[in-house]
């Protein structure tokens, strides 16, 4: 069986696979398309940043498995791979220590003017007075995201006797303390920290997370380090703050594309690196060893636990998986985005036999920025990593909801737990929410743009909502507004033809004295 490694990867992977009897071809000189054309009989493919497109996949008719030696896998067309029956894996965590150490290197380099001091000294200058530096020891460091990299960074900072503040939306206070970080909100971190290091996932949920408001809270001379994803920092806001004279040190190694070009961060960054986070011999070797181990386990033992583009089992309606993601997102929104501590799900009727396959969909719906396309075991591990206890419950014998799904999400705020409960079904092939907390018989589709408002029931409220939407040029496509007779509250679930802005939602909430309000776009 032939394994093709068309990338600069530690030779350890080839060594392990060759010793196990595989034919391994490794070449980091020729482009991937040239190598694929020369080895169309390859059954396995290990890559780093090379693009594995549909064209590459079609050129390998015997291909069964693609492994990305690293965490991200956006360079692989894993959806097309699935359509061809090809499994795609990654090796998350292999690069974590390398990135954590890079953060330390960037902080020290910026504080001690390592780059300009070296350049000017080589040019014959002697600017000792100009390069008066600062020490990392005993500084207050804020870490956004206490995943693998964030936790390792906490450990590395302990030798510098730093005060470490940690923000992780999904981690309990005690867990953060156990890691060695004092839990803090983002506003507190940006107001008090000398150094802020970002380790959050990319995507719409975190785009421009570091906003104009947060940047303006930073202390004079504070440092911002971005080794997560490009787009997490609003660099226009940072540029504006620097132009106005705010002294902020910005270090980054993330860019729109990993390619030679004039990078958009060049004029605003004090240290700019070509995405070197995972670029160490040790990380490369660890990723290589994991890739080899996974490839061997896949072909010899049928181990698919690391597959990220899992195929649903036969007989399971894809609409039910979409329902699980929808209910997860609905619960997260209804809970106000508070840190999730526990998720419990009940599967009724035929869904009971497929329940493990719902875990990835519940994860990606309930947890913003969570990895998509995980296998069930990997999704459960991700839940644990986020500090979430997940349980798939057996239904009560006396409750018959056809092929229904109930999702209970438990959040924590100021030491108090809150529960949000939703139930859904599939009607005519479309996911439908049938209950939100105590409001039953909703049967509302949530695709498109939805506004949810809870208020004390009284005449004229719906008219007020409709009038305010109309004044903004927004039409109501559908509305469901059941009454909870026990509480006297009504829950209005309103579908609109265009999204409702946060400002308009706030105006409507005030006008009807809403007890709860949020928007949802699916």
List the structure tokens of 21: 């009897």
Superfamily of domain 448-522: ACT domain (3.30.70.260)
| pLDDT single digits (tens) 414-457 | 777 899 999 999 988 889 999 999 998 888 888 889 999 999 99
At residue 71, does pLDDT exceed 80?
Answer: no
Q: How confident is the model at residue 504 (pLDDT cuts 50, 70, 90)?
A: very high
Collapsing DSSP to helix, strand or coil, 10 comes out as: coil
Q: Picking from 219-228, 242-251, 278-287, 370-379, which range would have the lowest pLDDT averaged per residue?
A: 370-379
pLDDT value, residue 376: 82
Domain chopping of the chain, boundaries: 2-93+281-301, 96-272, 312-417, 448-522
| pLDDT single digits (tens) 44-65 | 999 998 999 999 999 999 999 9
At residue 205, does pLDDT exceed 80?
Answer: no
CATH class of 2-93+281-301: alpha beta
Residues 143 and 150: their CA atoms lie apart, in Å, by 7
At residue 170, does pLDDT exceed 70?
Answer: no
Q: What is the mean pLDDT of residues 278-288?
A: 93
At residue 172, does pLDDT exceed 60?
Answer: yes
The whole-model pTM stands at: 0.68
At residue 397, does pLDDT exceed 60?
Answer: no
What CATH fold (topology level) applies to the domain 312-417?
60s Ribosomal Protein L30; Chain: A; (3.30.1330)
CATH class of 96-272: alpha beta
Residues 245 and 227: their CA atoms lie apart, in Å, by 25
Of 90, 64, 19, the C-alpha closest to 382 is 90
Q: How confident is the model at residue 311 (pLDDT cuts 50, 70, 90)?
A: low
pLDDT value, residue 278: 86
* φ, ψ of residue 285 in degrees (nearest 5): -70, -40
* Domain 96-272 in the same topology as domain 2-93+281-301: yes
Strands (E), 30-139: 44-47, 65-68, 87-90
Q: Please, what sign has the CA dihedral across residues 152, 360, 307, 33?
A: negative
At residue 41, does pLDDT exceed 60?
Answer: yes
At residue 154, does pLDDT exceed 80?
Answer: yes
pLDDT value, residue 54: 96
Q: How confident is the model at residue 405 (pLDDT cuts 50, 70, 90)?
A: very high
| pLDDT single digits (tens) 6-21 | 999 999 999 999 999 9
Q: What is the mean pLDDT of residues 151-155?
A: 95
């Amino acid at each position: 069986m032939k394994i093709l490694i068309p990338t600069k990867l530690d030779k350890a992977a080839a060594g392990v696979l060759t010793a196990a009897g595989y034919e391994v071809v490794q070449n980091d000189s020729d482009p991937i398309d040239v190598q694929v054309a020369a080895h169309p009989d390859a059954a396995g493919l290990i890559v780093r940043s090379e693009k594995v497109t549909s064209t590459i996949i079609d050129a390998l008719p015997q291909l069964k498995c693609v492994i990305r030696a690293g965490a991200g896998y956006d360079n692989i067309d894993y959806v097309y791979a699935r359509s061809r029956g090809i499994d795609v894996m990654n090796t998350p965590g292999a690069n974590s220590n390398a990135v954590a150490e890079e953060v330390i290197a960037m902080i020290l380099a910026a504080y001690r003017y390592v780059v300009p001091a070296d350049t000017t000294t080589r040019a014959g200058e002697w600017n000792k007075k100009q390069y008066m530096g600062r020490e990392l020891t005993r500084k207050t460091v804020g870490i956004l995201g206490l995943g693998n990299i964030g936790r390792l960074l906490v450990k590395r900072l302990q030798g510098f006797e730093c005060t470490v503040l940690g923000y992780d939306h999904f981690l309990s206070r005690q867990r953060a303390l156990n890691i060695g970080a004092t839990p803090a909100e983002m506003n507190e971190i940006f107001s008090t920290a000398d150094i802020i290091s970002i380790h959050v996932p990319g995507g719409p949920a975190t785009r421009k997370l570091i906003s104009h408001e947060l940047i303006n809270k930073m202390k004079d001379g504070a440092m911002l380090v971005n080794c997560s994803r490009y787009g997490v920092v609003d660099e226009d806001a940072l540029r504006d703050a620097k132009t106005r004279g705010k002294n902020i040190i910005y270090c980054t190694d993330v860019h729109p594309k990993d390619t030679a070009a004039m990078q958009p961060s060049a004029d605003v960054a004090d240290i700019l690196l070509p995405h070197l986070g995972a670029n160490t011999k040790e990380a490369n070797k660890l990723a290589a060893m994991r890739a080899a181990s996974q490839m061997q386990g896949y072909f010899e033992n049928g181990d698919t636990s690391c597959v990220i583009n899992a195929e649903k089992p036969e007989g399971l309606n894809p609409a039910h998986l979409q329902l699980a993601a929808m209910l997860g997102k609905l619960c997260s929104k209804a809970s106000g985005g508070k840190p999730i501590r526990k998720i419990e799900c009940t599967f009724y009727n035929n869904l009971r036999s497929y329940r493990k396959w719902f875990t990835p969909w519940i994860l990606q719906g309930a947890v913003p920025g969570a990895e998509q396309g995980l296998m069930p075991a990997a999704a459960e591990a991700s839940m644990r990593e986020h500090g979430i206890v997940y349980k798939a419950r057996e239904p009560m014998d006396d409750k018959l909801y056809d092929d229904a799904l109930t999702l209970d999400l438990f959040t924590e705020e100021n030491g108090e737990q809150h529960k949000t409960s939703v139930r859904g079904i599939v009607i005519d092939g479309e996911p439908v929410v049938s209950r939100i907390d105590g409001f039953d018989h909703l049967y509302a589709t949530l695709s498109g743009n939805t506004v949810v408002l809870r208020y004390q029931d009284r005449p004229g409220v719906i008219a007020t909502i409709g009038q305010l939407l109309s004044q903004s040029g927004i039409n109501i496509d559908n509305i469901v507004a059941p009454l909870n007779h026990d509480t006297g509250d009504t829950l209005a679930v309103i579908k609109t033809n265009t999204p409702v802005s946060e400002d308009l939602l706030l105006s409507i909430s005030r006008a009807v004295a809403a007890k709860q309000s949020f928007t949802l776009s699916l």
